[in-house]
Chain A
Amino acid sequence: MAAELLELGVMFAVLAAVGGLANALDQSVIPFYIVAGVLLGPFVAGEVTTDLFGTELAVGVSEGAASFVALGGELGIVFLLFFLGLEFNLERLLASGRRIGTAGTIDLALNFGAGLVLGWLLFGSPLPALVVAGMVYISSSAIITKSLIDLGWIVNDESDPILGTLVYEDLFIAVYLAVVSALVAGSGDLAAAAMDVGVALTVLAVLLAVAHFGTAAFQRLLAVDSNEYVILRVTGLTVLLAGAALALGVSEAVAAFFVGMAVSSTDHVTDVEGLLEPVRDVFAAVFFFWIGMVTDPGLFPAVAGLVALAALVTTPTKLLSGFWGGKVYDLDDRRATRVGLGMVTRGEFTLIIAALVIGTVDGGGVIAAETARTLNAFAVGYVLVMSVLGTTLMQYSGAVETLVGDWRGRHSPGG
């Protein structure tokens, strides 16, 4: 027990340290947490032992602590999706539907489409292609929103299409995760797959109904004066339903998303957000650490080409779909360029899809174990590149805006 506690202490201390480093470098914390996980994981530091106080200890996270980290990471996914649901507002989406719908569909068609083609060419099979498409399509709400605030773009017009498109992506990923988790855990048989997807969509509909009609019950459940009870009730409800969903073979992340949506229509949404944000942040950090930990860096050289190719293809597609989305919102060239730059960053959702795939390795899913590990290493490498690239592009947007301005000046009629 002592050894495991010490290892967890090392993990949290390292997370705190690299978080501070990321902040000092004006970068997102996510790639730093992942790298910390890779370095302390079984493939790197796990091989090394040290003699401390006469006891032989693993420098990295050993098997005992790893099971906690894996569960903690799972909680991270649940809380990330719970918050997504909490901040998701269906009425708002429907009210400003036309522009969000148009910009979001352009984003989906270009990036998901590019991912499907890329995945098919690389893996030659529909399911990995679908996985790659999801991984390269979904931008990172967490990193992008933080950058928008840090750079002050949040008060400018470019934030509307960026946040609007992210909301569209959030809704899409809820359905996507439900379908893909059913597919990867299934038997591979087409009829069985259709059945699994049918079950997943039915559960989705039930959850949506619970979220919609359960508001009064949630309202009563959360009407307590003590912060402690609010935290425990929300956590109990969310984790219980997420766990039950997973036991039924439905994505736990999607269940958490709908619990979040249900809570968001109660009066307690602000309290819940304030109280659970620190809980989410801790477990999200553990999730990023965990995904790094289960990634074999030995696979990086093999996937480097894939990552480079994906970055080369899906950076321009996001730039283009973002620029076009900005035009749907009637923005000028400069601001539309920013929308494109803002959407480049990929992060937590790409990794959640990776977690879904790597989770099937032991259980014998449809995707071969080797392919699953490659997909996971690809996702991790891709996020490391795209999160740093996206954040950096936003910081140096001025130069890109000038380039686009010059280019458009030369190519526009009479320019």
Chain B
Amino acid sequence: MDVSETDLPGVGKRFEVDIGDGETAVVLVHNTGRRELFVRPDPDADAEEVLRLDDEAARVIGSILEGAHFQPKATDLTETTIGDNVMLEWYTLDEDAPLVGKSLQEAAVRNRTGATVAAIERSGEVIQSPSADFSFQTGDQLIVVGSRENHESFLAECT
């Protein structure tokens, strides 16, 4: 794809990208970090301003357009709610987690916490519906289903 770049002394840089059907997208990058997006409907027309963004907003929108945007949560818990109260959460077992070295039966996760270990991801492989003799190891990623209370006791007792 053809991208043309023009220096604008005292202003910044201008990039033009042919987006098909005779339309051109024009990106104006100011020296101040401000970005402006224009569209020129046909080669003879004046470009019309579409967006005016500060540096940070431009980066976020740019990475979304690029398909690279991923915003990790602040904690290492990722939660998804099913229905009103049931949640799916991911936990990673570190080496001093109480579960490490125990089997699913020994750990008695459901009896103690009410939460259910639905699946385990280990070294890139997913173990679904683990059997009673399944043994936990450091680094296992657990996908756990339960209510908020269940998750709280799981977090306290098992990780």
A: residues with CB less than 8 A from B are 83, 87-89, 92, 141, 145, 148-149, 152, 154-156, 159-160, 163, 166-167, 270, 273-274, 332
Contacts and interface: CB of A to CB of B under 8 A. Distances in A.
Contacts of B31: 270, 273-274
16 contacts: A89-B7, A92-B9, A141-B10, A148-B11, A154-B8, A154-B14, A154-B28, A155-B14, A155-B26, A155-B36, A155-B38, A155-B40, A156-B40, A163-B9, A166-B9, A273-B31
Contacts of B46: 152, 156
Interface in B15-65: 26, 28, 31-32, 36, 38, 40, 44, 46-49
Contact of B11 (A154, A160, A274): A154
Given A273-B31, A332-B44, A92 B7 contact: yes
A155 B48 CA distance: 9
Interface of B: 6-11, 14, 26, 28, 31-32, 36, 38, 40, 44, 46-49
Nearest to B33: A274
Contacts of B10: 83, 87, 141, 145, 163
B49 A87 contact: no
Contacts, number: 46
Contacts of A167: 9
B28 A155 contact: yes
Contacts of A148: 11
Question: Which of B7, B9, B10 has the largest number of chain A CB atoms within 10 A?
Answer: B10
A199 to B, nearest CB: 30
Contacts of B36: 155
A88 B10 CA distance: 8
Contacts of A87: 9-10
Given A155-B38, A156-B47, A274-B32, A88 B9 contact: yes
B44 A152 contact: no
B46 to A, nearest CB: 6
B9 A152 contact: no
A257 to B, nearest CB: 14
A265 to B, nearest CB: 14
A83 B11 CA distance: 12
Contact of A160 (B6, B26, B32, B38): B6
A152 B28 CA distance: 10
Contacts of B9: 87-89, 92, 163, 166-167
Contacts of A166: 9
Contacts of B7: 89, 92
Contacts of B44: 332
B8 A163 contact: yes
A286 to B, nearest CB: 21
Nearest to B44: A332
A269 B31 CA distance: 10
Contacts of A149: 11
Contact of B47 (A155, A163, A273): A155
A329 B7 CA distance: 16
B38 A145 contact: no
Contacts of B28: 154-155
A273 B47 CA distance: 28
Contacts of A89: 7, 9
Contacts of A154: 8, 11, 14, 28
A148 B10 CA distance: 11
A89 B31 CA distance: 15
Nearest to B7: A92
Contacts of A159: 8, 14
A155 B14 CA distance: 7
Nearest to A92: B7
Contacts of B26: 155
Nearest to B37: A155
Contacts of B8: 154, 159, 163
Given A152-B48, A159-B14, 19 more contacts: A83-B10, A89-B9, A92-B7, A92-B9, A152-B38, A152-B47, A152-B49, A154-B14, A155-B14, A155-B28, A155-B36, A155-B40, A156-B46, A163-B8, A163-B11, A167-B9, A270-B31, A273-B31, A274-B32
- What are the 3 closest A-B residue pairs judged by CB atoms, nearest first? A87-B10, A155-B26, A155-B47
B56 to A, nearest CB: 16
Nearest to A142: B10
Contacts of B48: 152
B15 to A, nearest CB: 10
